[in-house]
Amino acid sequence: MKPKTRIEKGKRFEKQIAQAIQDAGLGLARREAGSGSGLRKGDIASNLPFLIEAKNQKTIKIQEWIRQAKSQAEIGNYDSGKWALVFKNPESPDANPEMFVTIDFYQFLDLLKRYTEPKIKKPDREMKWHLERLKDSVSQVIRDLK
């Protein structure tokens, strides 16, 4: 593939990622001009808490790409653990590509923890006391209003 065509292929993939972020309702996203070669690092500019590195290559080189994403995150004033590598399955069609994301395992656990409902195994006695006091106070305010 000619270098110009390879660059265009990468740009199209970055635009697809940015559009998918917007379509998911996660705010504005756009392809970063120069793909992170300037002051702003990463391939996608968005309000997501991750630096996004996009790869659309025939040969998958995850270790190399992860090193690049980590390096870009450190340089780009991001938390060095807050990087996301988005890559396309080279066997999937360009029109509706199969895409994958690789992130740091501990960042993955943190995301799961944030979106998991807390499970309280035992009632919290102090919280119960505060709720009872709140209930009594609200009842008193309602009585005073009558």
- Residue 44's φ and ψ, nearest 5 degrees, are -125, 130
This model's pTM is above 0.75 = no
User: When comparing pLDDT for 130 and 116, which is higher?
Assistant: 130
Domains of the chain listed by start with CATH number: 3-118 (3.40.1350)
Mean of the per-residue pLDDT values of the chain: 86
Residue 3 has pLDDT above 90, yes or no: no
Q: Sort 81 into a burial class: Cβ within 10 Å, 0-12 / 13-18 / 19+.
A: middle
Confidence class for position 38, pLDDT limits 50, 70, 90: low
